[in-house]
């Protein structure tokens, strides 16, 4: 059995009374206290957000194609260079 790590860190948040009431109702409906409910939801959301940034899986054929794409020599693409040199629609 794994030894549980001591909880020594705090996270404080501010919210509106309506949001707090909503979270309390949700926690109660899940038979959890609000701390447990928020911590589980937050950890789950964090893992989901980060999983795509750490690991991706390919079958053998796609892995080979990926490796070949990485190994191809660089090709000059003037139209792409022009597009990237201009202002972004987000600017």
Q: Tell me whether residue 30 is in a domain.
A: yes
Residue 9 maps to a domain: no
Domain boundaries, position 60? 17-72
Residue 90 CA, chain-centre distance (Å), reads: 23
pLDDT in tens, the chain (91 residues): 557 788 889 999 999 999 999 999 999 999 999 999 999 999 999 998 888 777 778 999 999 999 999 999 999 999 999 888 988 877 7
What pTM value is reported for the model?
0.53
In a domain, 88, yes or no: no
Closest CA to 13 of 27, 31, 34, 30: 34
Please report whether residue 56 resides in a domain. yes
The answer to whether residue 3 is domain-embedded is no
Q: How many domains does the chain have?
A: 1
User: Is residue 29 in a domain?
Assistant: yes
* Residue 66 falls inside a structural domain: yes
CA-based radius of gyration for the chain = 24
The predicted structure's pLDDT at residue 56: 76
21 assigned to some structural domain: yes
Listing DSSP states for the chain in one string gives: -PPPPP----------HHHHHHHHHHHHHTTS-HHHHHHHHHHHHHHHHHHHHH-----HHHHHHHHHHHHSPP---HHHHHHHHS--TT-
């Amino acid at each position: 059995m794994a030894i549980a790590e001591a909880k020594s860190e705090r996270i404080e948040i501010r919210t509106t009374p309506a949001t707090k009431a909503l979270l309390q109702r949700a926690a109660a409906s899940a038979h959890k206290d609000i701390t447990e409910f928020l911590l589980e939801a937050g950890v789950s959301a964090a893992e989901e957000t980060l999983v795509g940034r750490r690991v991706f899986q390919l079958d053998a054929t796609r892995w080979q194609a990926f490796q070949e794409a990485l190994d191809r020599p660089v090709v000059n693409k003037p139209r792409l260079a022009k597009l990237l040199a201009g202002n972004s629609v987000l600017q």
